[in-house]
Amino acid sequence: MEFTEIYNTMANQYTELSGYPVLEDTDLGIRMKVLAGQIHSLLSSMDWLERQMFMDTAVGEYLDKHAETRGLTRVPATKAECIVAFTLEDEQDYDVVLEAGTVLAVDGDDSIRFELMGEMVIEAETTGGTGAARALEPGTAYNVPAGTQLTVTSTSTPGIMAAVYTLAVKASDEETDDSLRERLLSSCRNLSNGVNRGFYQQFLLNYSEVGNVKIPAVGDTSRTLNIYIAPKAENFTYNYVHELELALEEVREVGLNIVLAEAEHTAFNLKVQLTAEGGYTLEGLRPAIEDALKKFLCSVEIGGVVRIRHLYEVLNHIDGIYNFKFPEMSADLIVDAYKIPRLGTLTLEGM
């Protein structure tokens, strides 16, 4: 109810009962406006509190509390990591050492800063070296492209320059309310049938390394649960399976045997015929096309389907492609059960 509606209701009721109108500039009118304002504030607070009581309308920390009841937590923001190439204008007759923690600021935007993760040495009588750096703050703003120029904020050696060679680990922002709410509502739809498969699926998806989880249905009497998982990134090399096995051991049901395995890869060879825009070449576009297709295939569910329309959508967002088609694809690609699709050979041809 709006403030004006509250005030008019009060004023009309007063007039009806007393026979006298309420004048806004009188003491009575002022008092009535103050009271109407307080009532409006109270009603607004009650409306807001009501929304926080339900998981489909709650926000912020109140949504987090609903998620906790289902064993879910908001995925935190992560920090970017990159490999930095350092160069000297002139060779030195001594080793140039940059200590761990040395700050590197992005030229033109010094609010984006990285720090060396370890000591970096440019050996004597050489002019170059590389070192690993991590963003000072989490968030996707630090996903800078290769070639980004950096300024070494503290060094006693003149003429030292730095640039991002490659982004080793991409950063992510904190999970949004919409994303957490979708996971929460999805967990509520996973009703238990014997072994609570939904619980273990959501438990594993809380780990930032895990991109996909597939758990075959089991009967009420089965006490073995097979779980297939896949990492978010194709080039993920960290041995995370053992870590997850230890975590599952802490939460598994008594008497339940869990067999955790990484889903096998199924390679799909793709051929793309395309016409490049002016200033672009087929081979020049290859890295962007490969990267986009690899990321898309990593998002396909274990044992899922690679839709042709989704492949076209992926390439539609790549700059430099004027026209293209997949000449050898006439139907969606079916992924074998408990396997994940990966890019095999990519063939590029002109149209």
Q: What is the pLDDT of residue 225?
A: 86
State the pLDDT at residue 233: 74
Total of domains in the chain: 5
pLDDT at 250: 86
pLDDT of 112 above 90 = yes
12: number of Cβ within 10 Å: 12
Last residue of a domain, one of 169, 203, 231: 169
Same domain, 163 and 90: yes
**Whole domain around residue 284: which residue ranges?**
264-350
Lowest mean pLDDT among 6-20, 53-67, 241-255, 308-322: 241-255
Identify which has the larger pLDDT, 174 or 71.
Answer: 174
Does residue 163 share a domain with residue 137? yes
Average pLDDT of the residues in 1-12: 90
pLDDT (tens digit per residue) in 297-341: 888 889 889 988 899 899 988 999 989 999 988 888 888 888 989
Q: Name the pLDDT band for 236 (thresholds 50, 70, 90).
A: low
Q: Does the residue 174 lie in any domain?
A: no
Residue 221 has pLDDT above 70, yes or no: no
Q: What would the mean pLDDT of 232-241 be, rounded to a whole number?
A: 72
> What's the confidence (pLDDT) of residue 155?
67
Position 95 in a domain: yes
So what's the pLDDT on residue 9?
92
User: Which residues is 346 bridged to in the sheet?
Assistant: 270
Is the pLDDT reported for residue 238 higher than 80? no
pLDDT at 41: 92
Residue 147 lies in a domain: yes
What is the mean predicted confidence (pLDDT) over 27-44? 92
Check residue 97 and give its pLDDT. Answer: 87
Specify the pLDDT at position 190. Answer: 60
Q: How far apart are CA 168 and CA 184, in angstroms?
A: 31
- Cα separation, 88 vs 162, whole angstroms: 9
Per the structure block, which two tokens stand in for 254?
Answer: 């008594």
On whether both 11 and 30 belong to a single domain, the answer is yes
Q: Are residues 98 and 156 in the same domain?
A: yes
Strands (E), the chain: 81-88, 96-98, 103-106, 109-116, 120-122, 128-135, 149-152, 160-169, 210-214, 224-231, 257-262, 264-276, 305-306, 321-325, 333-334, 339-350
240 belongs to a structural domain: yes
What tokens appear for 194 in the block? 């014997």
| 153 lies in some domain | yes
Indicate if the pLDDT at residue 242 is higher than 50: yes
- Other beta carbons within 10 angstroms of residue 164's beta carbon come to 22
Residue 251 is predicted with a pLDDT of 86
Is 176 inside a domain boundary?
no
Indicate yes or no: pTM above 0.75: no
| Final residue in a domain of this structure, among 260, 283, 299 | 260
Average pLDDT of the residues in 85-90: 89
Q: So what's the pLDDT on residue 348?
A: 93
At 157, the pLDDT band (50, 70, 90 cuts) reads: low
pLDDT > 50? residue 193: no
In a domain, 175, yes or no: no
Burial code (b: 16+ CB inside 10 Å, e: under 16) for 258-279 equals: bebebbeebebebebbbebeee
